Amino acid sequence: MLIRTSALHDPLPSEITPRSAYLNRPTRREALAALSLAAASPLALAQPAAPGGGKLPRLPGARSAVAGAFVMDRPTSYADATSYNNFYEFGTDKADPTEHAHTLKTRPWTVSIEGECGRPGRFDIEALLKLAPMEERLYRLRCVEGWSMVIPWTGYSLAELLKQAQPTSKAKYVEFTSLADRSQMPGVRSGVLDWPYVEGLRIDEAMHPLAMLVFGMYGEMLPNQNGAPLRLALPWKYGFKSAKSIVKIRFVEKEPMSSWTKAAQQEYGFYSNVNPSVPHPRWSQAAERRIGEDGLFSKKRPTLMFNGYEAQVGQLYAGMDLKRFY
Ligand SMILES: Nc1nc2c(c(=O)[nH]1)N[C@H]1C(S)=C(S)[C@@H](COP(=O)(O)O)O[C@H]1N2
Ligand SMILES: [Mo]
């Protein structure tokens, strides 16, 4: 499951499949039994919460049992979720990613896991797809710009991957880096951000079951403009924390500097938890426009504390001054 980076060298010990992962791998018989069980259950491997585009390979997931993983809101249409995007590597207009992201090559793809951990290594995308059972979750996504969507993602908890790397006691934070390749990503020639796109989480945030590693949406593989072949979904944080097209995950001791904090420290802090009572310096964060519901008479929706996930994630920030740690 871990690929060799050079034919000239023997694999590093860290590149060899951990024995625990090998031993825990389901046998073919177990896998088949799980599948027939899933087929018998009306909830597991159900139809996706909303239809996809029908052009990409299917990627079904069993309905997640993680607390808070399924909001009651109506899903955004696939057409809206795949045509109104922020992915500055392909341009800054909302329509740029859908127009330009076809040049992104998502195979082969490897994610390197580095830093303060016992088992660093390079994971191939095919291995990551098999690392844990696929789940479907219906999450709100609140952009710092004041709009929101509701998206059925397919993937699993980020913790499933992070645990395998065996972070050390020095791993206080996790840093995520997106691909930055000028030959595939026209926006990387512009200076709007200091490339590559970097984001970070505190280790306990990264290990929270709602922090999701995403490979698909609407029951299908991720479209390029939404961050193929893998991205984060952190539903209680502003959308920019959910880095797309990830190539590197690094365990670090010090708080990482994210691209947006570097670009405008006063406007985008490290935490960036959705918080209606802490305005952005240039606009309020108290309300949001739900994409697809914006008619002439439609009202804005009030934005919820932690985007509505306070019951699940509030404890992570107990005692913190959220105006200071914005
Ligand atoms: N690498 C990278 N990741 C990124 C961005 C980006 O420009 N580059 N934009 C972020 C922002 S601002 C938002 S709101 C979400 C949008 O995700 P979506 O297009 O799937 O809705 O992706 C985030 N992840
Ligand atoms: Mo955003």
**CA nearest ligand 1 atom 15, residue:** 239
Distance CA 145, CA 238 (A): 9
| Two structure tokens written together for 301 | 């929706």
**Residue 50, annotated ligand binder?**
no
Confidence of residue 297 (pLDDT cuts 50, 70, 90): confident
pLDDT for the residue numbered 28: 53
Quick one: which of 153, 243, 247, 244 has its CA closest to 199?
Answer: 243
Distance CA 168, CA 174 (A): 12
**CA nearest ligand 1 atom 20, residue:** 226
Residue count (the chain): 326
For the cut 60, the answer to whether the pLDDT of residue 17 exceeds it is no
- 193 CB within 6 A, ligand 1: no
- 143 CB within 6 A, ligand 1: yes
Instruction: Decide: pTM greater than 0.75.
Output: yes
- DSSP output for 225-271: GGTTT-EEE-TTB-GGGS--SEEEEEEESS----HHHHH-TTTS-SS
- 86 CB within 6 A, ligand 1: yes
User: How confident is the model over 268-292, as pLDDT tens digits?
Assistant: 999 999 999 999 999 999 999 999 9
- 238 CB within 6 A, ligand 1: no
pLDDT for the residue numbered 29: 52
User: How confident is the model over 186-245, as pLDDT tens digits?
Assistant: 999 999 999 999 999 999 999 999 999 999 999 999 999 999 999 999 999 999 999 999
Peptide bond into 108 cis (omega under 30): yes
Q: Are 306 and 313 in contact (CB under 8 A)?
A: yes
Distance CA 29, CA 34 (A): 9
Confidence of residue 46 (pLDDT cuts 50, 70, 90): low
**CA nearest ligand 1 atom 11, residue:** 240
- Domain 13-317 belongs to what topology? Sulfite Oxidase; Chain A, domain 2 (3.90.420)
Q: What is the average pLDDT score of the chain?
A: 90
For the cut 50, the answer to whether the pLDDT of residue 19 exceeds it is no
Distance CA 174, CA 199 (A): 9
